[in-house]
């Protein structure tokens, strides 16, 4: 990290000093930044030592859509992301929205900084999570989804890259949780043995990235958005089940944190698509041998191909495995 580094994006942003790039997406760069004391809206930022600024380049966004019609849509896309993010921000488990700026070449979405970064990075670091740590993470994800679904909004991009966390200083369970399948002797010699730990490191978990989110139901009328009377049956059906895509996403994340690899994978996209459409996944040996039936049951109820039978958010929040005991006690929070 070079404090004197000047980012080109900085020249069009007055209120925040960009410090370092901390993330990247298809059309965005995310920076850790500090609010400038002279900023016009500084009263909004005073409680933030650091923020995360998601910078979307208009050029990159536009060159992905050739015709001018979709140029308008790409601006609308950003405004929609901002509107939805604003709308869902008031939850402990959703990354807080702070402010939005547009300049000549960029859009800037200012957010609360989650210093731990992506849950994805913790999976890489630990290989997989203990059941307690998995529960700690997934329960907070479920609370974020509960909040969004209650507002009639579906996230549609739930994955470990979009789950961020605040680190905790202490590691309450320094003893690694070993599973039979880990055979520390051989694996340590190979230098790849990184045991899942009991629950340290990860504090508050928050859901980020509303770039694909969609308002499905109006909260006032409890009806699907759009003109109901003229909607085709397959659309009505799709709308009814659209919340369930997030439940599938939670299932994929739960599976992945428990064992360290995703439920569906193939190098060939068409084969992968086929596996997903059939809901073909297995509790692969030996990695799943030590994992409880309760955890496996929760995964099955989430990765159910038929959306009508798949857990909804309230059913998942009542799942016995998710409620086995209060994991926040375990973390000393």
Question: Per-residue x/- marks for ligand ADP, 145-184, CB under 6 A?
Answer: ----------------xx-x--------------------
Helix, strand, or coil (residue 9): helix
| Residue least distant from ligand ADP (Cβ) | 25
Active site residue 314: no
Q: Give the binding range for ligand ADP (CB under 6 A) out of 148-156, 166-174, 195-203, 205-213.
A: 205-213
Q: Tell me if 111 contacts ligand ADP by CB under 6 A.
A: yes
Among 95, 98, 143, 299, binds ligand ADP (CB under 6 A): 95
DSSP code of 146?
A: H
Contacts of 22-25 with C-beta under 8 Å, sequence gap 24+, read 22/52, 22/117, 23/52, 23/117, 23/118, 25/209, 25/211
The interface partner of residue 111, options being Mg ion, ligand ADP, none and the CB cut-off 5 to 8 Å by kind, is ligand ADP
- How far apart, in whole angstroms, are the C-alpha atoms of residue 100 and residue 41? 11
Among 39, 117, 193, 307, binds ligand ADP (CB under 6 A): 117
Q: Tell me if 28 contacts Mg ion by CB under 5 A.
A: no
Q: Tell me if 35 contacts ligand ADP by CB under 6 A.
A: no
Kindly list the distances between the CA atom of residue 226 and the CA atoms of 59, 148, 216, 237, 306, in Å, as whole numbers in the listed order: 32, 19, 9, 14, 25
What lies within 8 Å, CB to CB, of 204 at 6+ separation is: 92, 93, 140, 165, 166
- For the CB of residue 235, give the shortest distance to Mg ion in the complex, in Å: 27
Q: Tell me if 208 contacts ligand ADP by CB under 6 A.
A: yes
Q: Give the binding range for Mg ion (CB under 5 A) out of 154-162, 164-172, 265-273, 277-285.
A: 154-162
Q: Is 300 annotated as a binding residue?
A: no
- How far apart, in whole angstroms, are the C-alpha atoms of residue 325 and residue 327? 6
Asked if 129 and 119 touch (Cβ cutoff 8 Å), the reply is: no
Q: Tell me if 47 contacts ligand ADP by CB under 6 A.
A: no
Residue of 2, 132, 157, 270 marked catalytic: 157
Question: Per-residue x/- marks for Mg ion, 194-233, CB under 5 A?
Answer: ---------------x------------------------
- For the CB of residue 161, give the shortest distance to Mg ion in the complex, in Å: 5
Sequential DSSP letters for 207-270 = E---TT-EE-B-TTT-SBSS-STT--HHHHHHHHHTTHHHHHHHHHHHHHHHHSS-SS--SSHH
Q: Which is nearer to ligand ADP, 52 or 138 (CB)?
A: 52
Residue 205 has phi, psi (to 5 degrees) of -110, 135
- How far apart, in whole angstroms, are the C-alpha atoms of residue 181 and residue 286? 6
Q: Tell me if 114 contacts ligand ADP by CB under 6 A.
A: yes
Judged by the rule CB under 6 A, the positions of this chain that interact with ligand ADP are 22-23, 25-26, 28, 30, 52, 54, 95, 111-114, 117-118, 161-162, 164, 208-209, 211
Pick out the residues of the known binding site: 54
Q: Catalytic residues, which ones?
A: 157
Instruction: Point out which residues bind Mg ion (CB under 5 A).
Output: 25, 162, 209
């Amino acid at each position: 990290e070079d404090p004197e580094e000047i980012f080109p994006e900085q020249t069009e942003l007055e209120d925040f000093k960009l410090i370092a790039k901390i993330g990247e997406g298809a059309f965005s760069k995310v920076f850790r930044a500090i609010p400038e004391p002279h900023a016009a809206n500084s009263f909004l930022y005073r409680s933030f030592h650091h923020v995360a600024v998601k910078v979307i380049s208009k050029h990159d966004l536009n060159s992905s859509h050739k015709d001018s019609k979709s140029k308008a849509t790409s601006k609308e896309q950003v405004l929609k992301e901002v509107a939805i993010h604003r709308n869902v921000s008031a939850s402990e488990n959703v990354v807080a929205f702070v402010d939005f700026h547009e300049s000549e070449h960029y859009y800037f979405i200012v957010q609360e900084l989650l210093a731990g970064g992506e849950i994805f990075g913790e999976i890489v670091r630990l290989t997989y999570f203990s059941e307690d740590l998995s529960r700690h993470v997934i329960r907070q994800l479920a609370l974020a989804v509960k909040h969004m679904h209650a507002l009639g909004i579906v996230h549609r991009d739930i994955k470990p890259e979009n789950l961020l966390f605040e680190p905790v200083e202490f590691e309450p369970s320094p003893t690694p949780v070993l599973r039979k399948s880990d055979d520390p002797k051989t694996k340590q010699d190979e230098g790849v043995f990184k045991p899942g730990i009991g629950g340290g490191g990860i504090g508050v978990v928050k859901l980020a990235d509303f770039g694909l989110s969609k308002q499905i139901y109006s909260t006032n009328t409890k009806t699907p958005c759009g003109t109901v009377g003229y909607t085709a049956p397959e659309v009505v059906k799709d709308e009814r089940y659209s919340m369930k895509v997030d439940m599938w996403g939670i299932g994929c994340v739960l599976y992945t944190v428990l064992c360290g690899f995703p439920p569906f994978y193939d190098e060939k996209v068409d084969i992968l698509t086929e596996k997903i459409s059939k809901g073909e996944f297995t509790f692969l040996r030996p990695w799943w041998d030590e994992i409880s039936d309760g955890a496996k049951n929760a995964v099955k109820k989430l990765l159910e191909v038929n959306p009508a039978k798949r857990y909804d958010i309230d059913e998942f929040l009542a799942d016995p495995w998710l409620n086995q005991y209060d994991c926040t006690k375990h973390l000393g929070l």
